Structure 1
Amino acid sequence: MTAPTPSIQFFEGINEELSNVSLRRSRNSGVRNVLMTFKSLKALEKFNSFTKRFSNSLMLIDEEGTISIEPSGVKFIFGGDEGDNLERVDCKFEIEEEDHWERFMRFMNRYAEANGMAYGETPKPKGN
């Protein structure tokens, strides 16, 4: 039996394509903040969301099972001449527990490998 391809879903059965992910950790609290960016949502195309059940959460699915996350915020950014073209969707959430973080990172590594993504550090600005 083959392992399922890692996927990200807002609506059951509609796999979304992650464009970027930003991972940060608060120096004070140690809480990890995740920002996932999507350039488009398949759930919005052709009224797909009306034919599928909304999960009330972001679902990250891989060979270990499903991670269900309630985002702390989902922001739709529009642009274009009329301001009605969806440019991207930003989905934010926090991860406090170390074991949850480890599980999330296992998912992200599988998702990145399956989708030709690579991890890279943001260069730190040089001091004076």
Structure 2
Amino acid sequence: MTASTPEIAPTIEFFRGIPEELSNVSLRREKRTGLRNVLMTFERLNALERFNSFTKEFSQSLSLIDSEGEIAVEPDSVRFFFAGDEGDELRRVECKFAIERDDHWDRFMRFMQRYAEANGMAYGDR
């Protein structure tokens, strides 16, 4: 009998120890270059809502954690969108990054499959 790898719930973190909830993800491939672009959308950030961002270690990257380990992604951009009467109500956060290597893409897709299964998300074409 062999020991199995413990199952770890897939998480996404901007700040160590504060898991975020992904609202949507868009995957696109540039026809000219073949570069794969990922756009992750978050409707809220737990780190901001809990005001823990000042007391937790900022990883300077987006961490995608699952049973295979951790993927550290350095976003090309992180955009905050605000609304409300005063313009101070967080509407969503968009995190964009590119993946060049096929093996990195395959690993990212395995993570996304696990994350989707654990969080009731499904793949759909637009």
Bin the TM-score by the shorter chain. over 0.9
The alignment's C-alpha RMSD in Å is 0.8
Shift, 1:51, TM fit: 1.7
Aligned ranges 1:24-103 → 2 under 5 Å = 24-103=28-107
Count of residue pairs brought into register by the alignment: 122
Alpha-carbon distance between aligned partners in 1 of 2:68 and 2:114, rounded to the nearest angstrom:
11
Alpha-carbon distance between aligned partners in 1 of 2:121 and 2:39, rounded to the nearest angstrom:
16
Alpha-carbon distance between aligned partners in 2 of 1:107 and 1:62, rounded to the nearest angstrom:
7
Q: Which consecutive residues of structure 1, in runs of 5 or more, have no partner in the other structure?
A: 123-128
Runs of 4+ in 1 over 6 A off after TM superposition: none
Of the candidates 101, 117, 124, which is equivalent to residue 120 of structure 1? 124
Alpha-carbon distance between aligned partners in 2 of 1:103 and 1:26, rounded to the nearest angstrom:
19
Alpha-carbon distance between aligned partners in 2 of 1:58 and 1:91, rounded to the nearest angstrom:
9
Aligned residue number for residue 23 of structure 1? 27
Normalising by the residue count of structure 2, what TM-score does the alignment of the two structures yield? 0.95
Shift, 1:98, TM fit: 0.4
- What whole-Å deviation, never above 9, does each CA across 1:77-113 have from its counterpart, x for those lacking one? 0011111100000000000000000000000000000
Shift, 1:45, TM fit: 1.4
What percent identity do the matched residue pairs reach? 67
What is the one-letter code of the residue matched to 1:80?
G
What is the one-letter code of the residue matched to 1:103?
R
Normalising by the residue count of structure 1, what TM-score does the alignment of the two structures yield? 0.93
Alpha-carbon distance between aligned partners in 1 of 2:110 and 2:16, rounded to the nearest angstrom:
22
Alpha-carbon distance between aligned partners in 1 of 2:89 and 2:51, rounded to the nearest angstrom:
16
Aligned residue number for residue 105 of structure 1? 109
